[in-house]
Structure 1
Amino acid sequence: MISLFFALALSSPKAETLLPNLEADLDEQSLSNPSYILGQHWFRKLHGSKHFINFPPAYDYFRSALAKLLPYTELYQKNIEIGLLNSTKSNAFVLPGSHMFLYSDMLSKIDDEQTLLALLAHELAHLDLKHYERQSQHSEQEKSKAMLLMGAGIAAALAGAQGDASSALFLSGIANQQENRLSYSRFQEQEADRQAKKYLIRAGIDEHAATKLFLTFFQGTIGHDPIEFLSTHPIPESRLADSLSTTPLQSVLKQGDQTQFNQFRATLLAYRASLMLDSDSYIHSHINIQSDQIYAKALVALINNDRPKANLLAKDLDMALDNQAYLKTRILINSGKIEQAQKIIKHKLNLNKNKLAFIELSPDSHLLTNTQSQQVRLMQYEKDIINRIHLRQAKEAKNLALTRAYEARIVFSKGQGLAALNLVKRAESVADLDDLEIISKIKQEILDTIELEKGNNIELD
């Protein structure tokens, strides 16, 4: 996937140093930054994919893992827009403008937090080194070609090409590039590796985790299909040698508490298992801790709408862990056991009144405060929760105008611009004066974004 954005490059890495870095000093997430506008456009497209994972506690962990590394980067904005995609392929990639995606199957290759942090550090390095921005300084023809490839790949993924988002993205990207252009991409990979190692050292994370990451990938290819990550992240001959050291690897006993990582890993592996006929066997072969196996099986049962199995397994979930408490609450609500669910929700909100995931599950949708919903730097998964709460409030009030308006906002966040504008128009036709103020705000948000995209030659669809 990385090559989808970076492979259209000069044949020599030295040539890039002769180009001015036109976007180097821009806020990565500013509306005046063309990279951000482009990245947001394709982020919304992937956000609307059937592969997109909706499980807020997993995003909480993903965000906290990145927070361990971001202070040690040179990125202006110390937050990254994140997405999780369910896939049979192992991959991770970044979009311009500080967006990062991780595929569920990647956690079948990574079994400890430090190795995950090594992977995230590598992806952050691509953003920090502004590889897309440096690439985009080529001719308009090359930029247009890159954009077309990106669009074709994501469109193919959304259409379910080969049943897998990552394979569709791959086919439209690197497979169409000439070999002489891959050398530049290999250079960027090596550059990102070395930058990532600096982050790990600065953050006090075992720098040898990168070695384990590469060894895991290389060993995983023996007798198996190539790992997607290696296909989309070209390997220079010296790449593994760069990561190796004569210093002994850190003992697993020094890695600290792995509980939250294990919950995140079990969550993603549960989604991955849901794509298989024999999900239980997959879970047993990849998860060693029995309590995490139960949790993963219960999540698969919820995903597959197997209520009897979900309820049976929910009895053994650990309410001290947010992932498992959240899952049990959803299972109880799905089975109509509202009072039992409400006890868990009340307990969790007593501990932290700002937990949006549990606010959404609460029967009292008015627990959401204006302060919570109007924060400036909300992540997309947080905006999703708030939008769903507002939509529920509108439906409960039987307010057709606001129902359509919030549906428009949700639809637009999933990359459907024309459908969103149509919903806004229908909302305006039945709105009273009080509702028109809210609807006008939502309409303006959509129109402003569309106008910015048009200014960057991104067509409305």
Structure 2
Amino acid sequence: MLVIAALPITGAQAQDSTLPSIGGAGGGLISEQQEAEIGRQVMVSIRRSAPQISDPLVYDYLHDVIYRLVPSAPLKNRDLTLAIIDSPDINAFAVPGSIVGINGGLVLNARSEQQFASVLAHELAHLSQRHFARRMEQQETSAPLAIAGVLAGIVLSAVTQSEIGIAAIAGTQALSIQNMLAYSRAHEQEADRVGMDILADAGMDPRGMPEMFEIMMRQNRLQGNRVPEYLSTHPLTQSRVSDTRNRAEQYPVRDVQDTQEYHLIRSRLQVHYARSGKVAVDTFQDYLNRSDTEKTDAIRYGLAAAHLRNGDPGSAIAVLERLLENNPGRITYVVTLAEALITQGNLDEARSRLKHALERNPGNYPITYRLAEVETAEGNGEAAADYLKRLTRERPNQETLWSLLAEAEGMARNIVGVHRARAEYEALMGNLEAAQRQLRQAQEKLPAGAPMRQIVTERLTEITEQLIARRS
């Protein structure tokens, strides 16, 4: 399923191969509504089976990078849903219905923000050109929803490198879908070309694309050739790399610098994927001890994150305080400092720091998320729920937020709020019957004529209609 023409690089995948892209500029056989349903089903499968990163700092950074590119992408629907897969392997994918997925390893293995962004631009290009619909028209396939479950299985197997999706893609149906996903070289070249246009128009360097392709090819040669046949797609050949390199050189040369946030988040993910907290501390301390070390602030931040993972919030706080002296407005430092203070049990100081930061950055996602965490730890359910409600209004497709909101509403003894939050969580997880039950329970606890009862009733009607449509 539109998994990056930039191929994953684990040992379970082949040298010079890549996962396909689903999206198509055809549209005769596949309506936008059908594409949206395919995307919904795939996201349900990902939420149920694929480990995801819910770290608000990582999510916020990746969200910001995608939306730096989106205005330059020829997309009809720019309301994207982001899935961050918790895997150190290089991979990204896009799915009809405006779903974009990123492995944590994509940031980890890229050597620059331009390289990282080039993969996202390539995936946005596949979506914008609707390659899936075009391929299905070529195959004269007229039942896109019937294969959504199998496509979800292909995505899960690809992004998790496990047996999770195998059951869904066994047998002749999977073989026929694999053939459908065998996109032409022209589609991949088109995605490369459109992706580089997106990068250039967004003020980024198109040269990052051939550089990232070369990283993938080198790592695949080291990893071996063991990709399952059903995941085989077009090869990422040296000629394709050369073609993108030659095309990139046609763009004006510009000195594009990586953002500081890219290197901070890369350090944060490096700590996340380290074998242990101690290994992470030793690694970043070694970086600092090298006389030729660059990006010192990002390395010091990585050391702070490593101390925190190693169960030493005091050392993390000391490093972060020094970083804040030189850059007091850096949100990543403040939020990570609050994380260390919460771990230390110093909730008042964490709250004070975060509230001051929120005054300077109203509505900021990581700050608000961490404030909700402070209030939950303090037992202030009503305050925590207030922060989380703000976040769910802005990001209604994040199931983690609804789960946290249900917990906070329970702490605040708002039973109707608990039922409503659980209903939204269950709906995102594809459990429409459970969502329906939660809303009915909320409805029963509200008096007739109450404005909230009307809101609950309207949502219950929507869920019921979805359930009827699914069964039909």
TM-score, with structure 1 as normaliser: 0.76
Show the counterpart of 1:439.
456
Alignment deviations for residues 280-317 of structure 1 (CA, whole Å, 9 cap, x no partner): 56767999745434544554666x6x5x3234323312
C-alpha deviation, 1:93, in angstroms: 0.4
Q: Distance between the aligned counterparts of 1:232 and 1:259, measured in 2?
A: 37
Contact kept in structure 2, 1:91 and 1:166, CA below 8 Å = no
Show the counterpart of 2:216.
217
Show the counterpart of 2:319.
316
Residue 332 of structure 2 aligns with an amino acid whose one-letter code is N
Residue 409 of structure 1 aligns with an amino acid whose one-letter code is E
Q: More deviation in 231-240 or 127-136?
A: 231-240
Contact kept in structure 1, 2:73 and 2:128, CA below 8 Å = yes
What runs of 5+ residues in structure 1 fail to find an aligned partner?
A: 10-15, 27-32, 158-163, 456-461
1:264 maps onto 2:273 in alignment: no
Contact kept in structure 2, 1:67 and 1:79, CA below 8 Å = no
Q: More deviation in 269-278 or 327-336?
A: 269-278
Contact kept in structure 2, 1:197 and 1:210, CA below 8 Å = yes
Residue 346 of structure 1 aligns with an amino acid whose one-letter code is K
Indicate the SS of the match to 1:97. Answer: coil
1:292 maps onto 2:298 in alignment: yes
Larger RCO of the pair (alpha carbons < 8 Å, separation 6+):
1
Indicate the SS of the match to 1:66. Answer: helix
Residue 62 of structure 1 aligns with an amino acid whose one-letter code is L
Q: Distance between the aligned counterparts of 1:134 and 1:281, measured in 2?
A: 51
Contact kept in structure 2, 1:153 and 1:168, CA below 8 Å = no
C-alpha deviation, 1:208, in angstroms: 1.5
Show the counterpart of 1:165.
160
Indicate the SS of the match to 1:69. Answer: helix
C-alpha deviation, 1:149, in angstroms: 1.9
Contact kept in structure 2, 1:110 and 1:116, CA below 8 Å = yes
Indicate the SS of the match to 2:151. Answer: helix
Residue 292 of structure 1 aligns with an amino acid whose one-letter code is A
Show the counterpart of 1:193.
192
Alignment deviations for residues 66-89 of structure 1 (CA, whole Å, 9 cap, x no partner): 223222222123342112111142
Q: Distance between the aligned counterparts of 1:283 and 1:174, measured in 2?
A: 44
Show the counterpart of 2:86.
86
% identical aligned pairs: 19
1:329 maps onto 2:338 in alignment: yes
Q: Distance between the aligned counterparts of 1:342 and 1:156, measured in 2?
A: 41
Alignment deviations for residues 192-223 of structure 1 (CA, whole Å, 9 cap, x no partner): 11221222233342222111111111122233
Structure 1's 341 and 291: CA in aligned 2 closer, same or farther, altered over 3 A? same
Show the counterpart of 2:241.
240
Q: More deviation in 246-255 or 64-73?
A: 246-255
Indicate the SS of the match to 1:205. Answer: coil
1:410 maps onto 2:425 in alignment: yes
C-alpha deviation, 1:90, in angstroms: 1.5
Name which of 352, 357, 361 aligns with 1:343. 352
Contact kept in structure 1, 2:3 and 2:93, CA below 8 Å = no
Name which of 348, 353, 365 aligns with 2:362. 353
Alignment deviations for residues 12-70 of structure 1 (CA, whole Å, 9 cap, x no partner): xxxx99x664558x5xxxxxx21112202321332344611112232222222122322
C-alpha deviation, 1:401, in angstroms: 3.0
Structure 1's 99 and 152: CA in aligned 2 closer, same or farther, altered over 3 A? closer
Q: More deviation in 204-213 or 361-370?
A: 361-370
Show the counterpart of 1:111.
111
Q: More deviation in 51-60 or 146-155?
A: 146-155
CA RMSD of aligned residues (A): 4.2
Contact kept in structure 1, 2:268 and 2:305, CA below 8 Å = yes
What runs of 5+ residues in structure 2 fail to find an aligned partner?
A: 6-18, 288-292, 376-382
Contact kept in structure 2, 1:37 and 1:453, CA below 8 Å = no
Structure 1's 343 and 4: CA in aligned 2 closer, same or farther, altered over 3 A? closer
Residue 457 of structure 2 aligns with an amino acid whose one-letter code is S
Contact kept in structure 2, 1:186 and 1:236, CA below 8 Å = no
Structure 1's 374 and 155: CA in aligned 2 closer, same or farther, altered over 3 A? closer
Alignment deviations for residues 223-266 of structure 1 (CA, whole Å, 9 cap, x no partner): 334698xx766325431121122987999992225201112322
Q: State how many pairs are aligned.
A: 426
Contact kept in structure 2, 1:84 and 1:101, CA below 8 Å = yes
TM-score, with structure 2 as normaliser: 0.74
Write out aligned runs for 1:12-161 (5 A).
21-22=28-29, 26=32, 33-49=33-49, 51-137=51-137, 138-139=139-140, 143=144, 146-153=147-154
Structure 1's 220 and 124: CA in aligned 2 closer, same or farther, altered over 3 A? same
Q: More deviation in 279-288 or 211-220?
A: 279-288
Structure 1's 211 and 154: CA in aligned 2 closer, same or farther, altered over 3 A? closer
Indicate the SS of the match to 1:75. Answer: coil
Q: More deviation in 123-132 or 279-288?
A: 279-288
C-alpha deviation, 1:272, in angstroms: 2.7
Residue 165 of structure 1 aligns with an amino acid whose one-letter code is T
